[in-house]
Structure 1
């Protein structure tokens, strides 16, 4: 079916209940959030790529996760900032579909990368002596490439193609912070039950399969630690970074799915937009901070870099 819609563009509403009086404040806050995410995640990528002693599988996965977060924010936040700063709320339907694909693509990619990170931690605890033979930098690079090229694409491409064929007959307001499958299908004037079912199945695969493997890997980690290690706290500490990031990603999403499954509970658009912001964007700022505070090697690298900068500045201005 070709796209026979008479509506060629959509209007991004953003936070539905916020009046125009707060546009400057919202845009400034979003710009600050974007800058923090850009600088923090960019720093992680630069640290990992620029320091040979960080060229290890775990840090390679962390760098891929940081790159995914930057790209997600770049696809969504600039348009949201422009909507509140310049009043640029209009968006062509094709651009909306592209943004929708990117939103779900990078969201899926994060889930798969967290799964890979869990498997990496599992092998490091279960087979510590063979870890460097099983998980090599090359294999980690190939696995991350599979997540980028195959897994994230295959779980979202079909939905994006189907959404691009949706017929819009009148309503063209996206009551969300960015285009999503739910927001786009709500504008359709034809039956989109099949599209919603396909999207739901894909979402469950992206959410539950990686989460199931992550939980399974941690059950194995706990079993191994309790039977092999006397100082289990020290052994488990190597997994705390990953656990914190996993909690930030999965906990709010599971909460949203549970709430949405309860028919008696109806989330108003303002609350829905706020929750979307909290679980989609806020973790992208928090993750790099978790890496810096919980990962000894990254912390030491940051200290070395800061000392070098301080040394160069001292010699530049004092001599």
Structure 2
């Protein structure tokens, strides 16, 4: 393991470059795109949290895990996007050494957390066990377990990188700070630490994926043996939609993380950044629609809210009658 030498580690801050081939005339456009993405993601997921908090009828195991996923998505986008927006709006892509390490930890933490939450969501939806096993207390305990355990592997990686020497280059060719972007800046040979971080990432991502696939198989087999035609169609539609999101979340990650280990698997910096942003930011953007707005209970509640608001708002005719009566 590297030993930190104060005379050797001269880097006090790192600077995000973003897309290296992006021309300055497109900086504002890209910044506005990220801003729109951030606001839409936060508002969509925050809406679910608010609905859950205000409607006691939604305080069920299924919605507890949905809210957990929404909070995780809000956390990830809040950690990842503001600095890249600042980079393109005000040419301010710098972060202090320890702030950079904190962002690296949180980026990997929320990635690990989402993986564990998706696993919990799939396991909890198994038809035969859900009514008897998944209570509010059980789901709350599982959710808290996910939020705590997700710190383990990112924490080990962060500690390792904190102890590494950075003696020269500090420009990060990425949209945010993570292990992949920091490794090339280490003085010396970081292969051992990177391999450990890679193994941890693969474990926290693909062990849950294996259980998710197994859970899907069990769900499909159970539905085929229990449900009627309409029920099967609805279940398969839900599984297909969720499967697409899970595929977007897991498959591109494998190619990005595996690039350093396969010489024939090459990606340009711009393609690597675009792929990372796609699998990192697209699922949080559409999760509220996939997991929430397709749920009848939530759609009904939102309709009642809108209808109630319209009923409360006085029409122009009512306002005229009120004024007339007060004058009379």
Q: Could you tell me the TM-score, scaled by structure 1's length? A: 0.92
**Which residue of 151, 154, 164 corresponds with 1:153?**
151
Deviations 1:180-202 (A, max 9, x none): 00111110012211211111111
**1:165-213 Cα deviation digits (max 9, x unpaired):** 1111111110000000011111001221121111111111111111011
| Structure 1 contact 10–91 (Cα < 8 Å) conserved | yes
* Change over 3 Å in CA distance of 1:205–1:318 after alignment to 2: farther
Counterpart Cα distance in 1 of 2:215 and 2:74: 28
Of 296-305 and 246-255, more deviation after overlay is shown by: 246-255
Match in the other structure for 2:326: none
What whole-Å deviation, never above 9, does each CA across 1:61-116 have from its counterpart, x for those lacking one? Answer: 01110100101111111111111111111111111110000000001000000000
Contact 1:117–1:242 at 8 Å: present in 2 too? no
Q: Residues 166 and 185 of structure 1 are in contact (CA less than 8 Å); yes or no, is this contact kept in structure 2?
A: no
Which residue of structure 1 aligns with residue 25 of structure 2?
21
Alpha carbons 1:177, 1:273 under 8 Å: kept: yes
Conservation of the 8 A alpha-carbon contact between 1:291 and 1:298: no
User: How far apart in 2 are the matches of 1:207 and 1:187?
Assistant: 25
Corresponding residue for residue 4 of structure 2: 2
Residue matched to 1:228: 226
How does 1:184-263 map onto structure 2 within 5 Å? 184-231=182-229, 232-237=232-237, 239=239, 242-257=242-257, 261-263=261-263
Q: Could you say which structure has the larger radius of gyration?
A: 2
In structure 1, C-alpha distance between the alignment counterparts of 2:244 and 2:312, rounded to whole Å: 35
Deviates more, 1:158-167 or 1:17-26: 17-26
Question: Alignment length, in residue pairs?
Answer: 313
Question: Per-residue deviation at 1:237?
Answer: 4.7
1:85-124 residue pairs with structure 2 within 5 A? 85-122=89-126
Displacement of 1:236 in angstroms is: 4.0
Aligned to 1:220, the other structure's residue is in SS state helix
TM-score (ref. length: structure 2): 0.89
Listed as ranges, the gaps of 5+ residues in structure 1 are none
> Which of 159, 168, 171 does residue 170 from structure 1 map onto?
168
**Whole-Å separation in 2 of the counterparts to 1:113 and 1:273:** 25
Partner of 1:40: 44
Shift of 1:261: 4.9
User: After alignment, is 186-195 or 232-241 more displaced?
Assistant: 232-241
Q: Secondary structure at the match of 2:215?
A: helix
1:240 CA drift (Å): 5.0
- SS of equivalent to 2:20: coil
| Cα distance in structure 2, aligned partners of 1:259 and 1:300 | 46
Q: 1:317 and 1:239 mapped to 2: Cα distance?
A: 49
Q: How much has 1:281 moved relative to structure 2?
A: 1.1
Matched residue, 1:126: 128
Residues 93-142 of structure 1, C-alpha deviation per residue, up to 9 Å, x if partnerless? Answer: 111110000000001000000000000111xx124xxx333100111011
Deviation at 1:253, TM superposition (A): 2.1
Residue in 1 that maps onto 2:322? none
Partner Cα separation in structure 2 for residue 273 and residue 224 of structure 1: 40
Given candidates 31, 36, 59, the residue that maps to 2:35 is 31
Aligned to 1:291: 291
Aligned partners of 2:189 and 2:254: how far apart in 1?
27
Note the C-alpha offset of 1:21.
1.6
Supply the distance in 1 between the matched residues of 2:245 and 2:163 (Cα, whole angstroms). Answer: 36
Taking a change above 3 Å as real, the CA distance of residues 283 and 23 of structure 1, as seen in their structure-2 partners, is: same
